[in-house]
A and B are shown apart, each in its own frame.
Chain A
Amino acid sequence: MKVEQISIFIENKSGRLAEITRVLGETGINIRALSLADTSDFGILRLIVNDVEKAKIILKEKGFTVSKTEVIAVEVPDRPGGLSAILQVLDADRINVEYMYAFVERCGENAVIIFRFDETDKAITTLQNNNFNVLEGERLYSM
């Protein structure tokens, strides 16, 4: 039920993001979802891609610091209150969100939220017990 995400350390200087996307594009890797967390000195680019291993290898070859993290993808009805319902059940079980980002599925019916929790397994159980659709990694990579 977990999704593999790659994270890349980026110094806060011009052209770094362009370089990463260029490398991925040339290798035929498709970015499914992304988020960029930034501070004044550095940023962390988080990516869900169609080929995690290949992306990791090629970025390492190019000298980037890359790590793999397990995150959870949850389908949320694309309507007011959709996200709130999820966060309420998590909060009730005292599960902390480290970070999250969202994208809308191509067919447009649902949004997908990517979560990083402090307790991943507990979060999955809570979400499933409350009938939320936790997506398989494979489905996300090939979306």
Chain B
Amino acid sequence: MFYNEEFETLPRPALEALQFKRLKATIERVYCNVPFYKQSFDKAGISPDNVKCLDDLQGLPFTTKQDMRDSYPYGLFATSLEEIVRIHASSGTTGKPTVVGYTHKDIEIWTELMARSLVAAGAHKGDIIHNAYGYGLFTGGLGAHYGAERLGASVIPISGGNTKRQIMIMQDFGSTVLTCTPSYSLFMAEEAKAEGIDFKNLKLRVGIFGAEPWSEAMRGEIEEKLNLAAIDIYGLSEIMGPGVAIECIEAKKGLHIWEDHFLPEIINPETGQRVANGELGELVITTITKQGIPLIRYRTRDITSITYEQCICGRTHARIARMSGRSDDMLIIRGVNVFPSQIESILVGIEGVEPHYLLIVDRKENLDTLEVQVEVDERLFSDEIKVLQQLSRRIEKEIKEMLGVTCTAKLVEPKTIQRSEGKAKRVIDKRNL
């Protein structure tokens, strides 16, 4: 099943011709409209005229998350703000988010790509889509929502949280498709079990899970516990949001990246050179139809591999493998991007807290947990229990407010957190993905 059969099955030569045309137009537009790109192209000694074939993309400079932060909030916009109809943002290390703006056409394309993704995952008109991705600045909720509406499905915009109610609604409303993070789906399964509800009696058929790393083992567990087909979806707000790539239900083997809108490359994160097809490396994406924020060779930091082999589903678009990690230290906790440096800056902002801390990430009852260990020195110490407990609560509250992540703060004795000569070990990730 396809949503847009013509484009999803476009023969490679025609697809590549379309890609080149769109790439060329994008490059010309950013060169003229975005001072950042004019500077970076000029510095690299490249003019838009130098790009004569798709392979010439390799010669263009990368765009990084840092570039986006440096351009906060609107520096990378290629259109005037008047053309922008939506603004989303994701968290950043300095406390300043990464901002993305969408024109009307960008939203149109995102909506179509999300609709394509839903169909690839096995959803169709008539489905009742239980959308438990968060609505708000985070792109997950609204992205999935628009695609589902476009498809003609009934969307339940339930967003995250209040698990008991989620289960009641899935049961009573007869939800057939679930969209949320994979860890949350397993948490729902546990809650349902505790309530004596068997997912086998629900109408769920398909689950579309993304926004955090997960494994094939987890897929098996989800499919068994929720009695549905679990599909991996990929997206990032910088590029668009959910629906950049998705597995097809026919193969469930690699995520089709919508190549008529995004050019994928896999590079060695150290050298910046492309790696061979099938080899692991960092995913780099160039947007070729975006108007609000077109990005040239954006380094996603996600580690994957790519294959151009024909898929049994009939789509001609390349497939990227399930994300197997991050090339930087970013943690994804319950779908939220967290950098240790963000937590550090919050801790240092609390008087008396030393920058000696340790983050312990774990997964308990299928939900990511974050423990922040902080050393108690003399400036923090009080001989009254309540004062120390207030300190813990304050750390937890500030992290929740700034980063949107729930954590538990644990006070530990001084000098008990391991010191390191070089790069400090700030994170212990116990999740076995």
Contact = CB atoms under 8 A, between A and B. Distances in A.
B371 to A, nearest CB: 10
Nearest to A64: B413
Contacts, number: 52
A9 B413 contact: yes
B412 interface: yes
A11 B413 contact: yes
A83 interface: no
B303 interface: no
Contacts of A116: 383-384
Given A9-B413, A42-B388, A64-B413, A69 B381 contact: no
B418 to A, nearest CB: 14
A66 B378 contact: yes
Interface in B310-325: none
Interface string B393-433: 00000000000000000111111100000000000000000
A50 interface: no
Given A9-B376, A11-B416, A41 B411 contact: yes
A41 B410 contact: yes
B411 A67 contact: no
Contacts of A99: 384
Interface residues of B, number: 19
B389 interface: yes
A41 B410 CA distance: 7
Contacts of B383: 5, 7, 44, 46, 67, 69, 116
A91 interface: no
In the A-B complex, the 3 residue pairs with the smallest Cβ-Cβ separation, listed nearest first, are: A7-B383, A65-B381, A11-B413
28 contacts: A5-B383, A7-B381, A9-B381, A9-B413, A10-B413, A16-B413, A37-B385, A39-B389, A41-B392, A42-B388, A42-B411, A42-B412, A44-B385, A46-B383, A65-B376, A65-B377, A65-B378, A65-B380, A65-B381, A65-B414, A66-B378, A67-B378, A67-B382, A67-B383, A69-B383, A98-B384, A99-B384, A116-B383
